[in-house]
Amino acid sequence: MPDSLKRRLASSRSVEITGFTLIELLIVMAIISVLATLGFFQYSAFIERTKVTKAIADLKEIARLIDDFQERNGRYPSSLDDLERGPFRDPWGNLYQFVNIAEDDKKGSDKQKARRDRNQKPINTYYDLWSNGADGDYQQQVNGAKSRDDIIYAWDGTFVGLGKDLDELYGKPRAWKHPSDDTVDDTTPPTTEKDKAKDKDKETTTTTTPITVAPTTAPPTTEKDKGKDKDTTTTTTTVAPTTVPPTTEEDKGKGGGKK
């Protein structure tokens, strides 16, 4: 075959080139977008949890400084500036909030800032301390919408955490109550099947002790029964021993020897 013909045949052959189609590229891009979005939200949630943890640690440290101030001066500070430690800012860049309750009570109700629970009862005895959280705002009552993300020092330090977690504890048995708090904790019995099963397991099991009763003999009540009882009566008869005469010569000899 001539070389020119071979070259024409080779050039006429179609060369198949493999690669990604447009649909495949779109699918890959969609998967990458979903993973990136999930990763972003997970990362953001982790950062928020880290900030909350940092704020809780800050509040405990500030509370320690406040208590030290009270021991040295015999009173609580009027503001955090009295601690002379510079401005105290939370992880979101906002100033920590402080209220001297004794001084706040002297103000009118419309100017008071001391925190209250859902029953309008104080959540601390001497001072309130909190962070406004991520939204930078708060409401006086801890169950308010703007207080859900607040990080609050409450119950004289027994609780330090998110406002929503603090609000959920009300109505349940609590380890701390303000002297003016006369609300009754909820003692409603469990309503779910799981709770009922738990309570059932805790109930005391009653053990039944078997009692052995001696059988009693009922006296005969009919003439037929009386006759049966009479037939079953045992009669004792004394039989006198009898002497059997010898029947053989040997027996006779034995008998004669016994005379």
Give the number of other CB atoms < 10 A from CB of residue 91: 18
Residue 134 DSSP label? T
In angstroms, rounded to a whole number, what is the distance separating the alpha carbons of residues 214 and 174?
57
In this prediction the pTM is 0.61
Taking a C-beta distance cutoff of 8 angstroms, is the pair 69, 82 a contact? yes
Which amino acid makes up residue 24? E
Residue with tokens 């001539």: 2
Assigned token pair, 33 = 């977008």
Pick left, alpha or beta for residue 157 (phi over 0 → left; psi -120 to 50 → alpha; otherwise beta): left
Per-domain residue ranges of the chain: 51-186
pLDDT per residue rounded down to tens, the chain (259 residues): 666 666 665 555 545 556 778 898 899 999 999 999 999 888 989 999 999 999 999 999 999 999 999 999 999 999 999 999 989 999 999 999 999 999 999 998 889 999 999 989 999 999 999 999 999 999 999 999 999 999 999 999 999 999 999 999 987 888 888 888 877 776 554 455 655 566 566 554 444 445 554 555 555 555 555 555 554 444 444 444 544 555 555 545 555 444 4
Using DSSP, state whether 41 is helix, strand or coil. Answer: helix
Contacts 24+ apart (CB under 8 A), 41-48: 48/134
Please give the C-alpha separations between residue 93 and each of 96, 132, 135, 153, in angstroms, as whole numbers: 9, 10, 11, 18
Please give the C-alpha separations between residue 174 and each of 29, 167, 177, in angstroms, as whole numbers: 52, 12, 7
Taking a C-beta distance cutoff of 8 angstroms, is the pair 65, 88 a contact? no
* CATH for the stretch 51-186: 3.30.700
